[in-house]
Every structure is written in C-alpha cells, then in structure tokens.
Amino acid sequence: MNEYRVVLPPDVAADVETFLTDRGADGLEGTGLIACIRQAEDHWIATRFVAPDQRAKRGLGGCWVEVTDAGKRQLAAGLGRGERYLVRVHSHPGEAFHSDTDNCNPALTFIGALSVVAPYFGLGLRRGLDACAVLRLTARGWEPVDGERTRWLRAGTDWETGK
C-alpha cells in the first residue's frame, strides 16, 4: 500500500505546535514524526507526535536540525502495537518549502510518506495546515500536494466527517 490518508486530531496538532514554537522561541528548527494507527483500509489516525533527541544549530548559512543517534534509537524503539510513522513534521525559519537538504535527508523513505513543513519556526501552524507545505513521497521524489492536501492529510478526529 502506498496511499496513506491521515487524520490529525487537535491534541496531536497542539503537541506539534507547542514543540516547534518552543524551539522557535530560541530561533531553532525542530523536527519529529507522527505515529499513526490504521482506521480503515487506507485511512489512518495520528495517535501522537514523537520529538526525538535532536541537535539544532544556527549559523551564518542558516538553521538546521539533526536527529542524534540516541534520537534514531528512540524512534526505532518508540512505536506501539499497530503504529507506523507516516508523517514527518519540521519547521523552517521563514517560508514553508522542502529544501534540498530535506529532499536528500528524509526521515521517511517509503512511497506515500507525508512531510509537513511549518513556516516561521512553527508559528505558521496557528493558521492551520494550509499555512504549511505538505509533500508526499512518490516514485519521482517529494512532490507538493498543493490543492489536494485534504486528500492526504486532514485536521480533525474522523476522516469521513472531516471533523
């Protein structure tokens, strides 16, 4: 299966926003993965946001964040029964876009994975998912979902109702 449709409940979205804006208050980027469980054939619901141990830096060349070896082990051992990491979320200091670094160093590498880039150190999440860049990994690489975001990722608690 390579079509994952994910619902992002308000509590998980709030955890993401809190983490990214806390990091952003120090002028640092943040990153994490969203664990999901299957609701139906290709519908999944996010259960929690996992922010692994990470090192963020700022320099003349910009900002960057890397997951430490301890963080990689934390992610590898951190899934519960039936969970999968389907969405990567990370912040950028300005506009939301997938950088060359994001494309070359993906946290998720399977077709259908989703990547969300929150602008302005996570503050953009206050305006919802439409303020973010949302991309989906295809055989051609990471591609923006543009006007089709709600086909792949929705805020709410239920896929069918969108609430």
Q: How confident is the model over 85-115, as pLDDT tens digits?
A: 999 999 999 999 998 888 887 799 999 999 9
Q: Which residues are within 8 A (CB) of 59 and not within 5 positions of it... i.e. 6 or more apart?
A: none
Residue-wise pLDDT for 50-75, tens only, equals: 999 999 998 887 889 999 999 999 99
Structure tokens at 73: 């082990």
* φ and ψ at residue 18, rounded to 5 degrees: -60, -45
Structure tokens at 95: 């506009």
Residue 148 lies in a domain: yes
pLDDT band at 159 (very low <50, low <70, confident <90, very high): low
Enclosing domain of residue 97: 5-155
Residue-wise pLDDT for 131-150, tens only, equals: 999 999 999 999 999 888 98
Number of domains within the chain:
1
pLDDT greater than 60 at residue 163: no
CATH number for the domain including 37? 3.40.140.10
